[in-house]
Homo-oligomer: A and B are copies of this chain.
Amino acid sequence: MNESPDPAWLPPFALRALGSRRVRVTGDGPVVATVRAEVLAASAELVEDAGPVDLDLVCEPDPDGDPEAFVVERSTTTTTVRATSGAGLLYGFHHVVRKGGAAFTGTWTEEVAPRQSIRMLDHWDNVDVHPVMGQVERGYAGGSLFYDNGVVRADLSRVAAYARLLGSIGINRVSLNNVNVHRTEARLLTDLLPDVVRLAAVFRPHGIRVSLSVSFAAPMTLGGLGTSDPLDPEVRDWWERTTAAVYAAIPDFAGYVVKADSEGQPGPFAYGRDHADGANLLARALKPFGGTVFWRAFVYNHRQDWRDRSTDRARAAHDHFAPLDGRFDDNVVLQVKAGPLDFQPREPLSPVIASMPRTRLAVEFQVTQEYTGHQKHVCYLVPLWREMLAFRPDEDRAVADIAGGRTSAPTGGVVAVSNVGDDRFWTGHPLAQANLYGFGRLAWDDRLTSEQVLDEWIGLTFADPGVREGLHQVMDGSWLTYERYTAPLGVGFMVRPGHHYGPDVDGYEYSPWGTYHFADRDGVGVDRTRATGTGFTGQFPEPWRNVYESLETCPDELLLFFHHVPYGHVLRSGATVVQHIYDTHFDGNDEVEKMAATWAGQEGRVPAATFDRVTDLLREQLRCAAEWRDQVNTYFRRKSGVPDGRGRRIY
């Protein structure tokens, strides 16, 4: 933490369009103060009187207005941003920053409001270093920004810099600790609360409210009760008292995140209660204070018998939660992983998202690259998230609309697991900053294209416009490249068990985790049809229940997620499945080689430290992509007996 951190997308030159201008800021409160500080940091002239200015930033409270919306109006002399809260003004300010010089020419008006009212980052940070998972679970960027070996850091200046970055892209909630709540972490809710107060104070000036992940067993482990039964009056009382104490210390506390009955975490099932009972227990404790409970839908049997082909992990969340639609209180948000399995590079939408019209739903993504290369691989994920947000589970509704409350369903939001740590580049891989940036931007407006988002990020981050073309070449298609050299056709996993980096085709095949590919000498894939398989297709509404069911209509990229097919099955491309596997794996590796060559051409255009870090990591990505190519191809060559149609080397 001693090195000064990378400025990410807010280096001084990102604010250069404000440089010599006269700016007035009107309004009060900590977030408006942040805007004022930004103006000064941008070397603009902060004007206090009523005279003429270039940029007029006006916060006028209005209880009827959307506090996060803003209007920008450009007259011939002045650009005026009007908002009804400090957060709205901050967002308007950064809107102007992103527009750069164009914010100060012409005459025009823009009314801007976020498409999602909840734009949240979950941190899987541990207070104590976990013996297996380390300081940050699934973290690939060093230690935690918040915690260091058992305690909250004394110096939170790095957290303040992080909060500034998040505020600039519209993130409005942060959950401070791992959803797997261990012993010390649980105490953030009680005796470690003064440290949470300190963290909340750092995020508040950037329009960000903090949440805590809590353990459903807290009434027992922290409260000394004999039960955590959600219907027990003492349990209810404990949560009410505990929550009231939290709000006494942090009046704008956002609420709780809960992983219950999931991968060994305690939950309501132990008492024969369901997840509505569990979630509502916490919701009612939070309700008087305006808090929200984020209840994760990631509930499945993680001790499955691989021999049992009738159990299907993909079905689990829908089986558990869809029947509970309508039973959740209005301050419960059901937090649903976007795909039915677990943050794979390619999955269909979780059918839960299409099946609970009376429940607030938040779609959960993973910015941290657990299954997408551990921030050692370039893998720009915005296209993936955008595709999922734009997906229309039925003709009337896109996922972004469901989450955003623009359908009959009540308003939910979007949530993602953060990818930052105390690494000097924040994210380990410098180019992975674009994923953090892009998540915030898509959460604000899912209609932005992934190229637009990347373009914004490049423009803010790198002073030299000459890097734009090269970075688009390296990053635009990097998710699809990653998909090509890893598990084929939507079948998923094939990663090394435990850490999930690098290939191991059979690594999870005989495991209790429910993530199988069922490859044999004749074919591969998971039969999830209603006709002959697990029936998972039936969890989707029309048209997808039939589109996925039929081999004729199932999209190729999800073929093996839904069907077990022979290696000779012919794809729309005209290639057989096995030849497709060979081709994509050779292609994916070749694309990484091109990436590396393109990146090499950026030397001198990007800061040397960035250049060197990315160059080193591309070397590892090349090694790993070749390993994926060779292991996957060899595995299927040995199993199918089919030689490569183009005679390339398979081992």
Residues of A whose CB lies within 8 Å of any CB of B are 131, 306-307, 309, 503-506, 510, 519-522, 627, 630-631, 634-635, 637-641, 651
* Least Cβ–Cβ distance between A641 and chain B, in angstroms: 5
Task: Name 5 interchain pairs, CB-CB below 8 A, sorted by A.
Answer: A307-B630, A505-B506, A510-B627, A510-B635, A520-B637
Other than the known A505-B506, A506-B506, A521-B641, what 11 A-B pairs have Cβ atoms closer than 8 Å?
A307-B630, A307-B634, A503-B510, A510-B635, A520-B639, A520-B641, A521-B521, A521-B638, A521-B640, A522-B641, A639-B639
Give the residues in chain B near A638, CB-CB below 8 Å.
519-521, 639
Q: Is the CB of A510 within 8 A of B631?
A: yes
* Least Cβ–Cβ distance between A481 and chain B, in angstroms: 21
* Least Cβ–Cβ distance between A91 and chain B, in angstroms: 45
* Least Cβ–Cβ distance between A141 and chain B, in angstroms: 21
Give the residues in chain B near A309, CB-CB below 8 Å.
651
Q: Is the CB of A510 within 8 A of B521?
A: no
Q: Is the CB of A639 within 8 A of B510?
A: no
Per the bound structure, the CA–CA distance linking A637 and B522 in Å amounts to: 11
Residue in A307, A631, A637 whose Cβ sees the most chain B Cβ within 10 Å:
A307
Per the bound structure, the CA–CA distance linking A630 and B511 in Å amounts to: 12
* Least Cβ–Cβ distance between A298 and chain B, in angstroms: 26
Give the residues in chain B near A631, CB-CB below 8 Å.
510
Give the residues in chain B near A637, CB-CB below 8 Å.
520
Give the residues in chain B near A506, CB-CB below 8 Å.
504-506, 635
Our pick among B131, B503, B521, B651 for the contact of A639 (Cβ within 8 Å) is B521
* Chain B residue nearest in CB terms to A519: B638
Q: A504-B510, A634-B510 are in contact. Are A307 and B639 (CB under 8 A)?
A: no
* Chain B residue nearest in CB terms to A498: B498
Q: Is the CB of A651 within 8 A of B307?
A: yes
Main secondary structure of the interface of A (DSSP, over half): loop
Per the bound structure, the CA–CA distance linking A378 and B522 in Å amounts to: 38
Per the bound structure, the CA–CA distance linking A420 and B463 in Å amounts to: 64
Give the residues in chain B near A306, CB-CB below 8 Å.
651
Give the residues in chain B near A307, CB-CB below 8 Å.
630, 634, 651
* Chain B residue nearest in CB terms to A649: B307
Give the residues in chain B near A520, CB-CB below 8 Å.
637-639, 641
* Chain B residue nearest in CB terms to A511: B504
Residue in A307, A309, A506, A510 whose Cβ sees the most chain B Cβ within 10 Å:
A510
* Least Cβ–Cβ distance between A101 and chain B, in angstroms: 54
Give the residues in chain B near A639, CB-CB below 8 Å.
520-521, 638-639
* Chain B residue nearest in CB terms to A306: B651
Per the bound structure, the CA–CA distance linking A72 and B157 in Å amounts to: 82
Per the bound structure, the CA–CA distance linking A644 and B634 in Å amounts to: 26
* Least Cβ–Cβ distance between A626 and chain B, in angstroms: 10
Per the bound structure, the CA–CA distance linking A638 and B518 in Å amounts to: 9
Per the bound structure, the CA–CA distance linking A637 and B307 in Å amounts to: 13
* Chain B residue nearest in CB terms to A308: B651
Per the bound structure, the CA–CA distance linking A521 and B503 in Å amounts to: 20
* Chain B residue nearest in CB terms to A638: B520
Per the bound structure, the CA–CA distance linking A504 and B306 in Å amounts to: 13
* Chain B residue nearest in CB terms to A641: B521
Per the bound structure, the CA–CA distance linking A635 and B520 in Å amounts to: 8
Per the bound structure, the CA–CA distance linking A505 and B503 in Å amounts to: 15
Give the residues in chain B near A519, CB-CB below 8 Å.
638
Per the bound structure, the CA–CA distance linking A538 and B519 in Å amounts to: 38
* Least Cβ–Cβ distance between A134 and chain B, in angstroms: 11
* Least Cβ–Cβ distance between A613 and chain B, in angstroms: 25
Per the bound structure, the CA–CA distance linking A593 and B639 in Å amounts to: 33
Per the bound structure, the CA–CA distance linking A640 and B638 in Å amounts to: 10
Per the bound structure, the CA–CA distance linking A413 and B630 in Å amounts to: 45
Give the residues in chain B near A503, CB-CB below 8 Å.
510
* Least Cβ–Cβ distance between A541 and chain B, in angstroms: 33
* Least Cβ–Cβ distance between A208 and chain B, in angstroms: 36
* Chain B residue nearest in CB terms to A651: B307
* Chain B residue nearest in CB terms to A642: B521
Give the residues in chain B near A510, CB-CB below 8 Å.
503-505, 627, 631, 634-635
Give the residues in chain B near A522, CB-CB below 8 Å.
641
* Least Cβ–Cβ distance between A577 and chain B, in angstroms: 16
Per the bound structure, the CA–CA distance linking A307 and B307 in Å amounts to: 31
Give the residues in chain B near A131, CB-CB below 8 Å.
131
A-B interface, 4 closest residue pairs, ranked by CB to CB distance from nearest = A520-B638, A506-B506, A307-B651, A521-B521
Per the bound structure, the CA–CA distance linking A520 and B627 in Å amounts to: 19
Per the bound structure, the CA–CA distance linking A505 and B306 in Å amounts to: 14
* Least Cβ–Cβ distance between A620 and chain B, in angstroms: 15
Per the bound structure, the CA–CA distance linking A572 and B166 in Å amounts to: 71
Residue in A131, A520, A630 whose Cβ sees the most chain B Cβ within 10 Å:
A520
Give the residues in chain B near A640, CB-CB below 8 Å.
521
Give the residues in chain B near A651, CB-CB below 8 Å.
306-307, 309
Give the residues in chain B near A504, CB-CB below 8 Å.
506, 510
Per the bound structure, the CA–CA distance linking A640 and B307 in Å amounts to: 18
Per the bound structure, the CA–CA distance linking A641 and B627 in Å amounts to: 27
* Least Cβ–Cβ distance between A651 and chain B, in angstroms: 4
* Least Cβ–Cβ distance between A606 and chain B, in angstroms: 33
* Least Cβ–Cβ distance between A530 and chain B, in angstroms: 23
Per the bound structure, the CA–CA distance linking A638 and B630 in Å amounts to: 21
Per the bound structure, the CA–CA distance linking A519 and B505 in Å amounts to: 14
Per the bound structure, the CA–CA distance linking A375 and B445 in Å amounts to: 59
Per the bound structure, the CA–CA distance linking A557 and B399 in Å amounts to: 59
* Chain B residue nearest in CB terms to A503: B510
